[in-house]
Structure formats: structure tokens, C-alpha cells
Structure 1
Amino acid sequence: MVSSKSGPRSGESRYLEYRRQDDVKTLPQHLETTKQLEAQLPLSVAYAHYVELLAQQEQVLSTAADLTAFDWALENNRFPNLNKINLTPAAHGILFKPLYPTPAFRALPYGFNYPLPRGWPAGQQDDRSPYEDWDHDGSKHKWRGFLHVPSSLARQGSTRLQELILDGNQVWSGLTCGLFHASEPCAEYDNLVSVITKPGFTTLRLSLMVCSMSSKHYLAFRNGRLKQALDTDLRSFFLETDEECSPEQVSLRSYRGLDHFVPFRSIFPIDAWKSLAHVGLSRFVVKQQDLLSFLAAMPQTLRSVELSFLWYLRGTGNYRDLLFGIRDELGWEKRPAKPRLLIRYESASMLAGRAIWLEDELNDFLYNGGENPYIDPSSPDSLADDALNPVVVRDGFGKEKDVFEPRFERPYDSPDKLIQLGILKGWDED
């Protein structure tokens, strides 16, 4: 339901207030949000505009006009400089802050408060949508853009496309991993493989919905279909999932006896990536030694690595020890171009899109004798829980950022320090 200034607040506007947390209200990003909330259209006007937009969308979907236009443009070379395609259910971002400033978003009335659509199945922070079997009746049609775009690209004899992004992790969505254990032959799988193995293709970013896949031993990663699809000389590859936590944290007894670990060499064709410059993993279950072996196999062309929101199976490592392993065992400091490392880490807010970013501090530790950003779990200063959070980041290391709010950026530090910097409200302020 669309709200008005005088009517009840919508869930979206309450969510914006929740995202503000204990910040000072006069920070620039919050002032802009407040102005839009105060400028909301009357309920009747906003609702009429919303209904009009829905009608326009329905006409496009029912006639497949967008797909027809896309095919015509490809076939007639109307995209001569097309080198990147991003399929995402997260384009609307959060209220008043779409991820992309496209003409359609710029045309929305100032202060337009509306329910945010997600183009693919999407869950919530504490209620993830389970992955769906690709063969299940009607399931694949929920990923409309993915059904069509790779198919159109695969039909082209050649394209200039270099980069394909299948996004969605910001809103707990993505492509269902069911695609990678669908019955064979699978046209959609074949089309994806055709696109990423075309000459000149370099970059794949893959967001997968895997929630509940742990109960099936992560079949989509074990059966070799993903590895086969990636068996091409990529320059950049990033895999992220919507995994909520380590399967070992699930209280169901039936989960505890399952083998949740899949070796990286079973998933990724490391030997085929002769020219890889960037590799990234996010929300994945790992063992530290297997991860180090994976990184050790990377070619000399490697320039950057991201290892974000990883869970280490109990007793197999943690981020702090991983950093020592990277520094002491991989020999990166001897390379002409030293790979840069990025780790995003869950912040205390637990908000979608918001995280601690460690980058400069990591590279200072790896190459310049800097301090390990993670506290020794045996230290009296450590608040770590061996089961849920084996190591924590030191205050004063890293930055807290938000993918939905580019102006949200602050040092990761103690509340007292953030109060002193004028970012958080004082302890005695409402």
C-alpha cells in the first residue's frame, strides 16, 4: 500500500527509519530521505500513479514487447558497444534509492512511496526463500529475463559481450542453483554455457539462491555441471550465494550429520583459468586449508581476490588464521603485481547491503608488516563465540559501507568514537 504524509506510514518508510539505527538525524543521507518522506504525494494521487505504472508494465509483459525489442536490437546491431549485461531483481534498491539511475527511475515523482518489486523470487533477512528446482512446473518462468537474454545471445554468431552479471544477493535473491542440477538436456544451461564460452567473453558474476540446498548435500556444486560451465579462460569470476549461516549452526538434528563441505577443485576448473585476474567468493562454507590450496593454484595474472561472508566448518580455520596463511604460505609478496584482498564482513546492524569492508588494512598486513585486523580469539578483548563467530574485527579497522546508500560510509569503530565523530547520537539522546 502506498502511504501519504497524513496517512499511516508504509512498511517501506518504517524500514528507512529502521535503517537509520542510532545515527544522528542530520547526516546528509538522512536529511535527503526525510525530505522525500515529507514530500510524499497524497495517497489518492500516489496510488493512481502506481496503478498506471502497473498497467504499463502488464502491457509490456503480456505482449513481450521488451523481449522483441531486445532481439531486434541485437539482430540489427543497434548495440554496437554492448559489452556488459546485468540481470538483477534488485534494480529498485530501497525506497527513494534505486541501484541504477535509469530514465524510468528518474521519471518517478519526488517522494513517490511504493511497494518495491523484485523481478525474481527474493527472501528477507531472517526468512530466505528456498532455492527452486528448475524442472518444477512453472519454476523457471519466475526468472523471465534469464530465460530470454542468454538464449538471444547464444543465437548470435558472435557478440562483443565481455561481461555477464546475474545479480540479486543484495535482496537475498539470484538465479536458483536448481539450474545446475536440472534434467539433461537443459536449454537454459546450454545457452548460458554458450554465452560465457564465446570468444572475447571475460567476466561472470553469479548470484545463486542455495537456501535449503544444504539438505541435499549441495548437489548443484557436487555434480560437475557448474564446473563444466565455467571451463573457459575467464579473466574475472565472482560467485555469491544467499546462504544465511553455516549449516552447522542449523538446530535441526538431521542437518548435523550431513557433509556440507565441497572441495573447491570439485566446483571450479582452476586449471582452465590461465589468465584469471580477479576471483571472488561470498557466503560460502569453506575449510581454511582447502581455500589456501585454491588460492595457491591461481595464476600469476591474479590481481585481486574477494573472500566475503565465509563460514569455516568447525575446527577448520577462521579469518584471522587465513590471513596468516595467505601472508606466510602463498608468496604473494614476491609477485611483480601483488594481489589485493577484500573481505566484507557482517556488521552488527545485520541490514541487507550493509557490511564491514576490509581492504587497505588487509593489504597493509599482507605486505607492509601491519597488524592483523582480527582479534586473537584467546585474547581477553575478544567477544568471539567459537560456534557462531570465531573471530571479530578490531575497532578502528575497516569501514562500514552500504551498497544501497553510497553516502553511508563511516569508520568501523566503537560507539563512543562514532559519537565523538558526530555520526551516532549520544548515549543520553533520544
Structure 2
Amino acid sequence: MATQRPWFFRFPPEMISLIVSFLPNKDVKSLRLTCKALGEITPFSSSRVFLSANSLNIQVFRAVADHPKFRQEITEIIWDDARFVSAPLIWENVHPTIDPQSVQTNPDEGCPNWFVEECEENRYRMRHRKHRDVDRPDHLARKNQIDAQMPLKVCWEYYMQILNDQTTVIEAQDDEKAFLYGLQRFPRLKRVTVTPAAHGWLFTPLYETPMIRAFPYGFNYPIPRGWHFDQTEGQVVEPLPWSEATEEYKELWRGARITLRVLSQVKKHNFSELSFDSKQLHTGINFRIFDQPCEEYNHFAAIMKRPGFRRLHLSLLTGSSGYWAGFQSGYFHQAVSLARELTDIYLSTTFNLGSLSSLGDPPIPLKKVLPVMEWPNLCNLALSRFSVDTSELMDILKLLPSSLQSIELEFIEFPFDESCLTGLLERMREELNWAERDQLKPTVTIAMEGHRRWPGRFIKLPDEVASFLYGSGENPVDGGDTCGPRNGWGTNHDLFEAEYTRPNVSIPDLRKLGIVR
């Protein structure tokens, strides 16, 4: 007796492909495995591949690099530069210390005290991030994992397997070897991204890398952060002088350093975009590499002057306050001046992240940072956590080329200007004459903290700013402050939770919309 053909296959293959295109890659992979027919007609496409000091990530990375079809589609390598630790380190100086109490075994849980504390903190953060929100499907999915949490002793044993695997990979330099191999095998590679934020928050990873997808259901673990990072909420570490730093300290940026070295030395690759992206976590590339020439600075400068280099995203660990030697020395300005074909640049600092001591510090000298006259093709400029002088920022904006398409100003501080964003937007409308352009007018986006601060969360006002600059709309921050716009203006976003997106309105209004309880 002939088996009846499933109704789904009555649709034309083109329609099936269109339906499947709305699914995330992980669901496409599962769908392709359900039967041979679906595997043949269901398209699978991925433009990015993940790498880290983990053997599973490396195994999948190399498998894609060896695949005759998939390797042709890769345009981005994402390096997860966060690493697991046997105990939290405290970098009070160039040498780390460990709290002896933290590594003692908790008799009730069968694992170290610090591990227990971190796992409990994860549960607290999950509740804190949800706050008053109604139960969304993603909330319920995370709650189900929390309810099914493995015993902490079992979590610790699995965690140690990953840690030991990481040690083996680093000793053999397998991650660096894989990176070099990928550069040779991905002909369409355009971007290399290095981030310390791949793990996001518990059960909410920024990227579902092969390693993270393989985690057991209900696996609670200390979320690893790459680079120099303070786990205390709202705190920012001060970057240690690079010229005095030990190799152990510099290895906090292992993936970033390998990327700089390899990309500056290997000639046969086509990448044109480099991103060191903290995703608004309170960290970045140690800014002290720009104090004076060093190995990392030389690699960075070599990449900047590479023919065809067009996009730079650079998160900088500057500390929370101060007037930094890297900008004063001129080496940063000198290096980025070499990128003559640059079209996109995004720069962020950790300035003024909850630090009252920084309020009296002078603004960042923008003219010593941004050599805009050397970027005749600049299309997109973004500045995040910059303390600025309004007049100097206006001078920079007036020098930008006609190719400009967008400006993003995130969490900008005005230490000596009471008018703040209100005055800046008014001057932009009055002095820049962008509204009179015949060609496409630059999109201007303002991002602000809002009243519930959390890394990755912000309020964005692109439409409101456009209405004010190019139409008859009101100033969206008139009467407000640098912490947030007026109620009803802008949209709340979360880099780690797309489902969080909501209008910036009062709690009663959010309740009416069914967003909060």
C-alpha cells in the first residue's frame, strides 16, 4: 500500500522555502533532519561561523570551512572571547589574587562557594531583568530551565569538563590554528567580530554557539565575560598600564590579540570590517595600548592602513573617569587616520558608568580622536559613552562629508553644558542645514539609558529626532535630561532580548498594553 504524501509537500518548493526562511537556523536544522525530502528542499544558509577556545566550536568551525557549499556563504567570523575560570580573579595590580574563602567547597552543594554564589546571582538577575513583565514565551522557556536545574554538584562537574577542554585548546593553540584555516577557506569573508558577551545572561545567550547549544538542559553556570571586567553591577575596572602588564593580564584579551596579530600579518584574505564589540557590557579593549607604540598598537595600525578596510567597531575600556593618555598621546588619532577608505566607525568608552567622580572631568577632545578630514567616504558615525563639548561636537559634524548617511549618539554626557542633548539637537537643526539637502538626509539616532539601567538596555529615538530635525516635531529631549527622554517618546530595547522591545511609556500604560503586570 502506497504511503500517502504529507499535505505539506503539496505546496510548491518555492513556497516551502519562503515559509522556512522565517525560521531561525537552529529550527531549520531540526526540520531538515525530519525526513530526506525536507532535507533536500529546505534551504539552509548561514553567513557566520563561531570560534572560541572550545573544541566543539572549533570542530564545527572546521567542518564548515571544509564544506564545499557552506564555506562559500560565510561572511563573518564571530570569536567568543569569554573564557571559563577555575575561580574569579581580582586584578588589584598587575598580579591577580583569589579570595581563599571563595574556592572552599560548599558542604551542602559539593562545589566551591564562588560557584554557588554565581549560580544564585544568575537566578536573581533573571528575576530582576523580568521585573514586572507578564510571562512571555521566552520567560516561560527560561523558567522551565530554572525549574529543571541540575544539582549544582553536577553543574560544577560539567563546568570543569569545559574548563579542562579550554585549557587543552589554549595549550595546543587550536583556536588560533582554526582562525588561520578559516581565513584561507572562506572566500567571501568580510567581517571579523570579537566579543566578550557571547554568553549573554543565563539561558539568554547573545549567540547560540555550538558549545552553548550543547549545554545540558537546566545547566546553571557562572556566565563568563571576556576581557577585563568587574562582575559587580554598575562597576567599571580601571585598565592597567599596558607597558607594565604581565602576559597573564594581557591574555584576558586572547582572542582580540590573536585577531590583531593574524589579520595584520596574513595578506591573503578579503576581510574589510573589524569589530571589538562589548555589547554595552562595562568593558572593552584596554585603551592603554594607545599610550605608546606596542605590539598590539602596531598590529592595529597595520590593519587600519590595509587597502579596502572600511568598517571599525571599537569598544574601549577607558575606566570610569579621567583624561586618558591614549587620546593625549595622539597615537589613537594617528592609527585611525590611516584608514583612508573608512565608511563606518563606531567608538564606545566606559566613561561615566555610574561614576560620580567623573562629573568634573573635562570632555573627551574629539578633534584629537576623530580625524574626519581623512575619511572622505564616511557614511556612518557612532559615538557611545563620550563626554563631549557641544561646540566641539558641532565642529566635527560640520566637517563630515556629503556621503554621510547616519549619526548615532549613545549615552552622551555634557559635563560643562547645562543644555545637554536639548541644546545639541537645536543647534544641529539650526546650523547643519541637513534639511535642505537634495540627497538622502542623514539619519540621526539618540540612545539614552532610561530609568532602569542594565547593560544592553536603552531607549532609542530615531523617528522623534528625525521629526524634529527635518519636520515640525518637538524636541524629543526638551525638558528631559541625559538619563532619558520624556514619557511617551522613544522605544525601549534590549540587545540580549529582542522580545523586550516596548514603547517608553508609564507603568500604567504598559499595563494597559498587556506588557507588565
TM-score by length of structure 1 reads: 0.87
CA distance in 2, matches of 1:57, 1:291: 45
Match of 1:398 in 2: 490
Match of 1:409 in 2: 501
Question: How far 1:160 sits from its partner (Å)?
Answer: 0.8
Match of 2:264 in 1: 154
Amino acid at match of 1:135: S
Question: How far 1:101 sits from its partner (Å)?
Answer: 2.0
Matches within 5 A, 1:379-398: 389=481, 392-398=484-490
Match of 1:222 in 2: 328
1:36 lines up with 2:145 in the alignment: yes
CA distance in 1, matches of 2:412, 2:181: 42
Match of 2:204 in 1: 97
C-alpha contact (below 8 Å) 2:321/2:352 kept by paired residues: no
Match of 2:37 in 1: none
Matches within 5 A, 1:351-370: 351-370=454-473
Amino acid at match of 1:345: M
Question: How far 1:315 sits from its partner (Å)?
Answer: 2.9
1:281 lines up with 2:390 in the alignment: no
CA distance in 2, matches of 1:415, 1:54: 43
Amino acid at match of 1:271: M
CA distance in 1, matches of 2:109, 2:448: 35
Deviations 1:139-190 (A, max 9, x none): 32321112211111111224311110012152211101101003x3x12111
Matches within 5 A, 1:163-202: 163-182=273-292, 184=293, 186-202=294-310
1:143 lines up with 2:245 in the alignment: no
Question: How far 1:263 sits from its partner (Å)?
Answer: 2.8
Question: How far 1:397 sits from its partner (Å)?
Answer: 0.9
C-alpha contact (below 8 Å) 1:320/1:391 kept by paired residues: no
DSSP-derived class of the 1:10 partner:
helix
Which of 372, 389, 410 aligns to 1:270? It is: 372
CA distance in 1, matches of 2:354, 2:420: 13
C-alpha contact (below 8 Å) 2:477/2:485 kept by paired residues: yes
Deviations 1:373-409 (A, max 9, x none): 1132xxxxxxx6xxxx467411111111111111111
Higher gyration radius (CA): 2
Match of 1:379 in 2: none
Is 223-232 or 298-307 further displaced after alignment?
223-232
Amino acid at match of 1:348: H
Which of 437, 446, 462 aligns to 1:343? It is: 446
Distance 1:29 1:69, change over 3 A: closer
Match of 2:237 in 1: 129
Which of 409, 420, 431 aligns to 1:307? It is: 409
CA distance in 2, matches of 1:3, 1:414: 42
Distance 1:359 1:321, change over 3 A: same
TM-score by length of structure 2 reads: 0.73
Question: How far 1:269 sits from its partner (Å)?
Answer: 0.9
Amino acid at match of 2:226: G
Matches within 5 A, 1:314-329: 314-315=416-417, 317-329=419-431
Amino acid at match of 2:470: Y
1:10 lines up with 2:10 in the alignment: no
Question: How far 1:316 sits from its partner (Å)?
Answer: 5.7
> Which runs of no fewer than 5 residues in structure 2 stay unpaired?
1-105, 111-115
Deviations 1:264-287 (A, max 9, x none): 211111110100000010001101
Which of 198, 222, 233 aligns to 1:115? It is: 222
Over the aligned positions, Cα root-mean-square deviation in angstroms equals 2.3
Match of 2:343 in 1: 235
1:211 lines up with 2:314 in the alignment: no
C-alpha contact (below 8 Å) 1:90/1:118 kept by paired residues: yes
C-alpha contact (below 8 Å) 1:213/1:219 kept by paired residues: no
Match of 1:380 in 2: none
> Which runs of no fewer than 5 residues in structure 1 stay unpaired?
377-383, 426-430
DSSP-derived class of the 2:409 partner:
strand
Question: How far 1:46 sits from its partner (Å)?
Answer: 2.4
Question: How far 1:246 sits from its partner (Å)?
Answer: 8.4
DSSP-derived class of the 1:325 partner:
helix
Amino acid at match of 1:89: P
